[in-house]
Amino acid sequence: MKNVQDPSNLRPNHTVTRRQFVASAAGGAVGTAIVADLPFLASASAEVVLSEADAVASANHLGVKASVAALAFLSSLDESQNIIAHLEYDNLSRVQWNFVPMTDRKGLPLKDMDSNQSELALNLLKSIVSDDGFRRSEMIMQYEGVLREQEGPKSAARRDPKKYHFTIYGEPSAESTWAVSIEGHHLSLNIVFEKGYMVDSTPQFFGANPATFQSNMLDRFEKGFQLLQDEEQLGWDLLNSLSKEQRSITILKDKAPTEIDAPGAPQAIPTTLQGIPAASFNESQKSTLLNLLAAYCKSLPEPVLENRLKLIKAEGLEKVCFAWLGASKPGIGHYYKVQGPTFLIEFINVQNDAIGNVANHIHCVWRDLQGDFNLPANS
């Protein structure tokens, strides 16, 4: 389907039902293997009912690991928390997403969880992203502490590293269709599983304010640190590699837009392909383009990254277009778009950071032009 994990090794009979974690030690090596892979389960006194053959087969099965993590998280919640965190798959809020600060949003926030529940929530996050994806997601949460310090006491409630919300849609198992939403300021991850496979992973949004740190902050972030450095720098690298003639096709306007297209819309709004097609690139420029695409995919598990790129190549890399709007030098508002038949990337850096530095605030998104949220594009 879309952004799909390769189903060639699909194994049926991976059933994990809610609250069926507590089992006997008869699981032996199976239980040990699962707990070794997901050490948080030990602290949650949780085990998984899987046959030994299924446990081995599930090693490359993204949905099994995620469903185990989801069920462990849900089982830790009380009834009132479950009402907020666990909704029907078809609940309309599943296709509602945003990345701006909000007083309230769908899902259960970390701030309303105890330490064990928070640990299980973060392990759910770990189960659906790559190591890089977890690192940047966790850092985006910590950026709220940076903004709180920069903006002062008036932002204490608004800027909270624990205002990141977790929602599970449907019943997690390796046989069902279910989804996860993890969202807060500058972070929106929307993952759908079907029969054990991650079949969609969009909208995928990351943001960074500041884009580049101007001083050391919170004893963690050093001056010059850039969380979304690859997305920023590879865009510049591709632009700067273009000839004068190529740039005349690529740069559509000398003024950037104010925001990405259709923020929060359930489906992307594809436009006519704009800018320069990769068919006009030399081999070095094509390599930079592929590295840029990989930079947007590397936050997800490797099978998803590989299959996104396979889908792009199958449709024709030469059809992918690169367009630029805004300044052609850093430090001034700029925007780029990378669009192919199956996907849309948008990157924008136009807003000031919290202390007034110009164009030091990034938003970037990957949309699925075949349909976000595992839905048809026209839904």
Pairing mode, strands 251-253 and 276-277 = unpaired
Kind of pairing between the strands at 165-169 and 86-87: parallel
What pLDDT, on the 0 to 100 scale, is given for residue 237? 98
- The pLDDT value given to residue 378: 78
Give the pairing of strands 334-339 and 321-326.
antiparallel
The whole-number pLDDT of residue 179 equals 98
Question: Among 187, 219, 217, 226, which Cα is nearest to 203's?
Answer: 187
Alpha helices of 129-275 — where are they, by DSSP H? 131-151, 229-240, 244-250
Which H or E run includes 62?
helix 62-75
User: Whose structure tokens read 């997800």?
Assistant: 300
Beta bridge partners of 162: none
Query: What integer pLDDT is reported at residue 53 of this predicted model?
Result: 38
DSSP 6: P
Give CA–CA dist 121/201, Å, rounded. 18
CA gap 64, 138 in Å, rounded? 23
Taking 50 as the pLDDT cut, the residues of the chain under it are 6-60
Tokens at residue 274, please? 């704009």
Q: Count how many residues are written for the chain.
A: 379
